[in-house]
């Protein structure tokens, strides 16, 4: 879906298609000496960033923050152009608007002849003055990475409460396009986690009229530095087992130090294949290190590299390809404490209504799912509430409460006095409500519709995990009888 203010403006680029191509089956690329890329050239002007996104390895990066030597950067731009590249983006692990020289790089790229120059930014520093500077320098498109379409989730995921500021800057981008008559494109990207995977429609609603295209990506172990994503942040709907990656065959990634990497999110320079301070870009692209990594991708022989964990969704020992270019000299230490601490202190709440008369694996699955989203508050049905729509419970409320208190996924238990959840959820205003899909039909279907409508009032989400097959309270009651 495109939410366009003027669809005829700017270069016609389908960003969602570009996202797909990064891991699409493109066997024609898979050779030791692929053609030099015409697109997919990213230059990291600096690794400095003012945000701390929960899925980003920047929050635990040990590499020294610095910035690209301008003369070297300009030289690499010229080399890439002479080799056939016609598009360049000035971002990678850092926030480009932290770099005062950013407009100079854009102007130089346009002067050299690049037909498409672009940025990705979190948008918080994209003030009107900075926006005018990069647009007037010749920028063709700008993409804001906005990883939640509402303020509370945004602050949790980005680490900073800048949602309103970013929205203000996005509106100015549109205003300046109308005022200046310039034809740059405006995009919004959402990196979807399990906290936001059900909010695509909300994205379209919030950014309607403010972006030419809204693009989604499922969060993944980018660069191989974040295997904890699979356990702690991965979308429930993402069942990928092996990730196809075309970057070593179709992308140029240059770091702030002037190194050529096979990955644009190389936070610790562990995937460097050439030092462009010593060899040319052509020599790096067709050099022995790069060829060897391409061979390893072709043969699926990635053991010992960070790429192995990213491609195969695993956590395994990894060392730098060129240790002399990285501060990591031995095995990389995978530390998930930063993400776990963020989740622990998120302040997000989850409401789970439950009878819990006969505890079975289905209940445990629901509670385990709920615990992935935040503090779990169980609304335990009273005896009267259960009897209002199904047989009287075998255990009393107090007995059922004692059982729930011993389950590690439960943080708090409150009474659920009726089969209608309205009073509790309006009082708690939880961020999430978890309920099995079994309530879509039957005596709770009207309750479901009412709960979804109420949760939407404050931006809450209703999550409906798949029903656990082969077991239910009704089945167990039947067997007892």
Q: Where are the domains of the chain?
A: 15-337, 347-480
Q: Give the C-alpha separation, 349 to 376, whole Å.
A: 6
Q: Rounded to the nearest 5 degrees, what angle is found at the Cα of 279, between the Cα atoms of 276 and 281?
A: 65
Structure tokens at 473: 């309270």
First-last CA distance in the chain: 54
SS3 310: helix
Question: Does 15-337 carry CATH code 3.60.10.10?
Answer: no
Q: Give the C-alpha separation, 427 to 165, whole Å.
A: 30
pTM for the full predicted model: 0.90
Which run of H or of E encompasses 295? helix 288-298
The per-residue pLDDT for 394 is 86
Residue-level pLDDT, tens digit, the chain, 481 residues:
444 333 333 466 787 787 777 777 777 888 999 999 999 999 999 999 999 999 999 999 999 999 999 999 999 999 999 999 999 999 999 999 999 999 999 999 999 999 999 999 999 999 999 999 999 999 999 999 999 999 999 999 999 999 999 999 999 999 999 999 999 999 999 999 999 999 999 999 999 999 999 999 999 998 999 999 999 999 999 999 999 999 999 999 999 999 999 999 999 999 999 999 999 999 999 999 999 999 999 999 999 999 999 999 999 999 999 999 999 999 999 999 999 999 999 999 999 999 988 888 888 999 999 999 999 999 999 999 888 877 888 899 999 999 999 999 999 999 999 888 999 999 999 999 999 888 888 878 888 999 999 999 999 999 998 876 655 666 656 666 6
The per-residue pLDDT for 4 is 37
Which run of H or of E encompasses 41? strand 41-43
Q: Give the C-alpha separation, 372 to 118, whole Å.
A: 36
Phi, psi at residue 59, to the nearest 5°? -65, -15
- The full length of the chain comes to 481
347-480 to CATH, choices 3.40.50.620, 3.10.20.310, 1.10.10.10, 1.20.1300.10:
3.40.50.620
The per-residue pLDDT for 9 is 36
Q: Give the C-alpha separation, 415 to 423, whole Å.
A: 11
Q: Is the dihedral of CA 263, 268, 273, 279 positive or negative?
A: positive
Q: Give the C-alpha separation, 442 to 54, whole Å.
A: 39
Q: Give the C-alpha separation, 96 to 117, whole Å.
A: 13
The per-residue pLDDT for 7 is 33
The per-residue pLDDT for 469 is 62
Domains 15-337 and 347-480 share a fold: no
């Amino acid at each position: 879906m495109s939410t366009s203010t003027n669809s005829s403006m700017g270069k016609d680029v389908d960003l969602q298609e570009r996202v797909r191509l990064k891991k699409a089956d493109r066997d024609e690329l898979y050779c030791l000496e692929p053609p030099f890329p015409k697109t997919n050239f990213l230059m990291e002007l600096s690794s400095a960033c003012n945000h701390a996104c929960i899925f980003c390895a920047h929050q635990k990066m040990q590499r020294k923050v610095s910035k690209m030597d301008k003369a070297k950067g300009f030289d690499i731009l010229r080399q890439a152009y002479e080799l056939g590249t016609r598009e360049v983006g000035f971002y990678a692990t850092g926030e480009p608007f932290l770099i005062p020289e950013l407009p100079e790089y854009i102007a130089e790229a346009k002067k050299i002849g690049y037909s498409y120059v672009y940025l990705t930014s979190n948008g918080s520093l994209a003030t009107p003055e900075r926006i005018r500077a990069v647009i007037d320098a010749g920028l063709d498109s700008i993409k804001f990475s906005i990883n939640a379409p509402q303020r509370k989730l945004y602050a949790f995921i980005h680490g900073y409460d800048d949602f309103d500021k970013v929205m203000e800057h996005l509106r100015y981008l549109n205003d300046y396009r109308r005022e200046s008559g310039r034809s740059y494109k405006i995009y919004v990207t959402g990196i979807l986690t399990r906290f936001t995977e059900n909010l695509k429609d909300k994205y379209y609603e919030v950014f309607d009229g403010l972006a030419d295209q809204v693009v989604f990506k499922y969060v993944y172990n980018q660069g191989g530095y974040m295997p904890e994503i699979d356990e702690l942040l991965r979308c429930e709907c993402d069942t990928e087992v092996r990730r196809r990656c075309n970057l070593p065959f179709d992308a140029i990634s240059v770091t702030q130090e002037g190194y050529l990497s096979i990955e644009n999110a190389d936070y610790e320079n562990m995937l460097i294949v050439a030092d462009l301070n010593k060899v040319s870009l052509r020599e790096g692209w067709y050099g022995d290190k790069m060829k060897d990594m391409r061979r390893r991708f072709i043969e699926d022989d990635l053991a010992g590299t960070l790429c192995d964990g990213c491609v195969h969704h695993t956590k395994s020992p990894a060392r730098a390809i060129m240790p002399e270019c990285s501060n990591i000299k031995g095995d990389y230490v995978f530390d998930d404490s930063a993400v776990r601490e963020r989740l622990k202190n998120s302040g997000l709440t989850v409401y789970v209504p439950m009878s819990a008369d006969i505890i079975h694996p289905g209940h445990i699955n629901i509670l385990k799912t709920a615990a992935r989203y935040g503090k779990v508050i169980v609304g335990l049905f009273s005896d009267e509430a259960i009897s209002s729509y199904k047989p009287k419970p075998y255990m009393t409320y107090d007995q059922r409460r004692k059982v729930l208190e011993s389950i590690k996924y439960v943080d708090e238990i409150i009474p659920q006095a009726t089969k209608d959840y309205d009073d509790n959820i309006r009082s708690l205003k939880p961020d999430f409500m978890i309920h099995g899909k079994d309530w879509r039909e039957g005596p709770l279907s009207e309750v479901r519709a009412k709960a979804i409508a109420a949760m939407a009032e404050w931006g809450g989400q209703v999550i409906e995990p798949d029903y656990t097959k082969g077991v239910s309270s009704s089945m167990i009651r039947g067997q007892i009888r």
